[in-house]
Chain A
């Protein structure tokens, strides 16, 4: 009995700091006039960070605020909402979900209210529907979050190719991409500051994760790198003022995967062999390499074996 109690006390001790940190403010940076970013951390989503690992933020116009990704938990979404209220009196009109991954949209429920429109790629609702049952189970098991289907909020406006949003004296251009990081990636371009918000089409430091299409991602990157942007905001990693240079490491990694896996397939080698051997020399260049590299190989192998 005593042993059980002390285990229990230990749990409470572990949990207390996190419950208290909820009340803390979200750390935000104004990276360009009216462009605010909270930089996430390079970590796997877990019970300690509650999945709050991605870069999220907002852009302020004269009439409207557009939120770009809402965070890894409802609590982080509420913290973002509170931070917006502190920075500006302009109301939130739009929530832009850049793709289906939970670290970017579990804060959605914090913004569900009259006057807020949710915007996503034309395939976002389908991706939510297919993945929600599994993601919800995982939120309980791995993140300690008790979420429900209602916490995913499907877009009420979808982007087929591009969509312009007028925030009042400030125009945002949203672009829906072909399968790349996922099959439902959106990027946002702010005309006023020439800021390109790439979300997870750009990883800096954190190993890129392929959950859409390797060749598709390289194709989208070749278009995105032609954009004359002053500032690039990745989904994971620091904001960069060097575009397209900021995409070089990611492009190099994806190109390496493509050429090495193509060679394995040509030689008749198996997915298992590729997963064990391909691209190990890139380990030192990236964080979370051991968490995502093999999965990238599996996904890419299954894609590339249909090329010929």
Chain B
């Protein structure tokens, strides 16, 4: 009889947990944004949600929560009179919701950006664009962290640590096309770890170590710059556009939160 009671108590407890979870799932996915994040990042400014400025592509299911490909596509071309200045990515329910802010210029050609991010939870990701007239617009997408043994950690952190600071640009094809947007990819090797405070398990305390600033220029003119945080995957990766007017050098300058600086240049020809 005592055992039966225990089982019932156990069931009640589990049912309670299930209810709590369901309430959460059916509840307001936008709560963190509405109650905290919007004000924290944008104050009382109004944000258009018509989806006219940018489009956000993120998978509904994060196959590998350590490496979720996310891309933002601009719906308007970059011109000197009208352009997207900044795209900010926020992942509502990550421990650090701010993922990155990317800054563009008219010379960027297209304010498209693709990167790989970590997702720690079931959460909305939102991209907020600011145009040069100061207007804000936002799109969002819901992402479910996948099941199984996955964790939003790099698979082989020691390999990334061993080649830390190594970079490369990958162009779409061998040659650049002049006076039009060319897509390029910047690969940065960095472990991007969030730190470990779990000394009760391992007696290990390791400080966080991640890339927090990226600058890309072409022949000395800025193409893309970004402030980034721990949501960037191990070995951060960025895909974006630049408009070359002649042969020259693409340069990347990267800093991390421990003050380390890395730079890399690569010659490109038409």
* Chain A interface residues (CB < 8 Å from chain B): 8, 11-12, 15-16, 19-20, 44-46, 101-103, 125-126, 128-135, 137-138, 140-142, 144, 146, 149-150, 152, 154, 179, 182-183, 209-213, 216, 268, 270-272, 275, 291-292, 294-295, 298-299, 302-303, 305-306
Contact = CB atoms under 8 A, between A and B. Distances in A.
Interface of A is mostly: helix
Interface string B26-59: 0000000000000000000000000000000000
Contacts, number: 148
Contacts of B171: 268
A138 B121 CA distance: 9
A268 B170 CA distance: 8
17 contacts: A11-B11, A12-B15, A19-B7, A19-B10, A20-B7, A44-B148, A102-B149, A132-B201, A150-B200, A209-B148, A212-B156, A268-B173, A275-B69, A298-B64, A302-B233, A305-B187, A306-B166
A271 B116 contact: yes
Contacts of A299: 64, 66-67, 155
Interface in B178-227: 187, 189, 193, 196, 198-204
Interface string B10-24: 110011011001000
Contacts of B148: 44-45, 209, 291-292, 295
B159 A213 contact: yes
Given A11-B15, A125-B201, A154-B201, A101 B156 contact: no
B11 A44 contact: no
Give the interface residue-count category, chain B.
35 or more
Given A154-B201, A183-B157, A271-B69, A144 B17 contact: yes
B74 interface: no
Nearest to B235: A302
Contacts of B75: none
A40 to B, nearest CB: 13
B171 to A, nearest CB: 8
B11 A16 contact: yes
B67 A298 contact: yes
Given A15-B15, A142-B147, 4 more contacts: A129-B199, A210-B155, A302-B235, A306-B166
B151 A134 contact: yes
Contacts of A303: 155-156, 159
Given A213-B155, A216-B156, A302 B67 contact: yes
B176 to A, nearest CB: 14
A126 B202 contact: yes
B63 A130 contact: no
Contacts of B116: 271, 302
Nearest to A54: B149
B42 to A, nearest CB: 28
B152 interface: yes
A129 B202 contact: yes
Given A141-B21, A275-B69, A45 B198 contact: no
B156 A129 contact: no
B163 interface: yes
Contacts of A272: 69, 71
A173 B14 CA distance: 42
B158 interface: yes
A71 B14 CA distance: 21
Interface in B131-170: 145-153, 155-159, 163, 166, 170
Nearest to B57: A272
> Which of B21, B199, B233 counts the most chain A CB atoms within 10 A?
B21
A135 B15 contact: no
A284 to B, nearest CB: 20
B15 A295 contact: no
A268 B235 contact: no
Nearest to B205: A129
B120 interface: yes
